[in-house]
Amino acid sequence: MKNRFFFFTLILTTLFALSTHAAKRQKYNFNSEWRLQVGDFPQAKTADFNDNDWKQITLPHAFNEDEAFKLPISQHTDTVMWYRKHFRVKELRGKKVFVEFEGVRQGGEFFLNGHYLGLHENGVMAIGFDLTPYMKEGDNVLAVRIDNNWFYREKSTNSKYQWNDRNFNANYGGIPKNVFLYVTDEVYQTLPLYSNLKTTGVYIYATDFDIKGRKAKIHAESEVKNDSREARSFSYRVTLTDADGKPVKTFHGGKTVLKAGETGTVKAAADVSELHFWSWGYGYLYTVNTALLDDRGNVFDEVVTRTGFRKTKFGRGKVWLNDRVIQMKGYAQRTSNEWPAVGLSV
């Protein structure tokens, strides 16, 4: 009987550990099951609007993508269209919910369950919103009104965009890029989405390069925000992994306490040897895990960043890469890259 009780307790402990691990930050591909309708429908911002007969799509999807290579650029349709998505988040208690749009074109107005989230204009940069205040149990509706007028004018300045010229820049409007949903703890490393969220995210960089000795000091900095109602203490851990998945270095920052509503930056750095430096023709990338740990040592928020390390210098009309002068050639890629037949630039 004692053995059975011990076995039952062990199962409960294991399940609790698994549920704790599952509570970490989650990033979801938010591209599927959107609905699209061309035209202006002000009532479409509300949650109870009937969109059953709208076109079902998967993002990225420019509303006029079928005009690619069929019509001259100057004849691409420019109008207002709406995108809507129904979704659910299983557990909202003690969580933050964010959405990231890699880009919309031209100007987008965003609504969650009828509540106005904000405006984004320019057609190029990413935008993020905190959905938490307006999330509800059950069905939620995210709606986006987008205007891709060739002569779109920024609402605050009434100015046009210099790069938005129908003589050379294809006007593929709507949401022609990816969308992601994030669910985090109330204490979290922010997203690198300054537009609207005004947050800077995680910054990984290197200093004190010794190229011949294959050494450098690796730095990690994370902007952390406490959106809970009480002070929270945590520690900061950084793990560097090579391209083969082998751990290279783990280093820590000090213990931090953030008051309710406070934002701060946590840092950690370490000297690392036997580095592979990113170079022309040798695009070596490391994986950097930055984690927040509670007082028991459990990870409750973790961000994964892939990056390379290289030493650069500019001067006397030359460019140095890893202490060697490098000859560079360039080309004039257009500002917007929403070409349906080609995809996004890298």
pLDDT for the residue 330: 58
Residue with tokens 């592979």: 276
Q: What share of the chain is helix, strand, coil (3-state, %, to 5)?
A: 10, 45, 45
pTM metric for this prediction: 0.86
Helix (H, G, I), strand (E, B) or coil at 250: strand
pLDDT tens digits, residue range 236-294?
999 999 999 999 999 999 999 999 999 999 999 999 999 999 998 899 999 999 999 99
Size of the chain, expressed as the number of residues it contains: 346
pLDDT for the residue 7: 37
DSSP track, 276-311: ---BTTB---EEEEEEEE-TTS-EEEEEEEEE----
pLDDT for the residue 230: 97
Residue 308 half-sphere exposure, CB side, CA atoms within 13 Å? 16
In order of start, what are the domains of the chain with their CATH numbers? 27-185 (2.60.120.260), 202-325 (2.60.40.10)
Query: What is residue 339's DSSP assignment?
Result: B
Residue with tokens 């109330």: 186
Of the candidates 288, 304, 237, 301, which has an alpha carbon nearest to the alpha carbon of residue 23?
301
Which residues have a Cβ under 8 Å from the Cβ of 13 and sit 6 or more positions away?
A: none
Tell me which of 29-33, 36-40, 312-316 is least confident.
312-316
Do the Cβ atoms of 105 and 123 come closer than 8 Å? yes
pLDDT for the residue 340: 41
Segment holding 322, helix H or strand E: none
The average pLDDT across 166-177 equals: 86
Q: Return the number of other C-beta atoms located less than 10 Å from residue 223's C-beta.
A: 18
Rama region for 342: left / alpha / beta (φ>0; ψ in -120 to 50; rest): alpha
- Give the whole-angstrom CA distance, residue 234 versus residue 185: 13
pLDDT tens digits, residue range 222-231?
999 999 999 9
| Angle 261-266-268 from CA coordinates, rounded to 5° | 170
Q: Return the number of other C-beta atoms located less than 10 Å from residue 111's C-beta.
A: 21
Between these two residues, 182 and 125, which has the higher pLDDT value?
Answer: 182
pLDDT tens digits, residue range 330-343?
555 554 444 443 34
Residue with tokens 């060697």: 324
| Res 345 pLDDT > 80 | no
Compute the mean pLDDT over every residue in the chain, rounded to the nearest whole number.
89
Of the candidates 346, 343, 251, 242, which has an alpha carbon nearest to the alpha carbon of residue 291?
251
pLDDT for the residue 289: 98
Tokens of 218: 């690796």
Q: Return the number of other C-beta atoms located less than 10 Å from residue 134's C-beta.
A: 18
| Res 182 pLDDT > 90 | yes
Between these two residues, 296 and 9, which has the higher pLDDT value?
Answer: 296
